[in-house]
């Protein structure tokens, strides 16, 4: 079993990306407009407020491949732990082969 850490790491099995996106459906998102030019160019504050909604899925931020787990944080953590354990098992098998 892998050593449990304070933070789990994600590595997409399809592309290697390390960032996870959370898709939320049925939510109201409020964001402050911080810049607006006469031509309509605009920019938003980087901290939106999300009200309501539910998590639809987690996915890789680069290739958009869905992570195969239930849409809740505990299921995502369990999936990440399973992936770490599988990687550890694979490394141990490779070490045995090389001996």
Q: What is the pLDDT along the chain (99 residues), one digit of tens a residue?
A: 445 556 888 999 899 999 999 999 999 999 999 999 999 999 999 899 999 999 999 999 999 999 999 999 999 999 999 998 888 888 888 777 776
Which alpha helices (DSSP H) does the chain contain, by range? 73-98
Number of domains in the chain: 1
| Residues spanned by the domain of 90 | 20-27+54-98
pTM above 0.75, yes or no: no
Domain membership of residue 79 (yes or no) is yes
d(CA 78, CA 89): 16
Q: Please, are residues 97 and 90 in contact by the beta-carbon 8 Å criterion?
A: no
Domain membership of residue 41 (yes or no) is no
Domain membership of residue 70 (yes or no) is yes
As given in the structure block, the two tokens for residue 45 are: 């504050």
Domain membership of residue 10 (yes or no) is no
Please tell me whether residue 66 adopts helix, strand or coil conformation.
Answer: strand
d(CA 2, CA 42): 46
As given in the structure block, the two tokens for residue 33 are: 């407009």
């Amino acid at each position: 079993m892998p050593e449990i850490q304070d933070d789990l790491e994600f590595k997409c099995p399809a592309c290697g990306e390390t960032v996870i996106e959370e898709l939320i459906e049925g939510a109201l998102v409020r964001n402050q407009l911080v810049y607006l030019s006469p031509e309509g160019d605009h920019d938003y504050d980087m901290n939106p407020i999300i009200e309501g909604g539910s998590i639809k899925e987690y996915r890789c931020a680069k290739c958009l491949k869905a992570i195969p787990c239930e849409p809740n944080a505990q299921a995502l953590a369990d999936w990440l732990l399973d992936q770490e354990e599988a990687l550890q098992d694979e490394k141990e098998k490779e070490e045995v082969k090389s001996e």
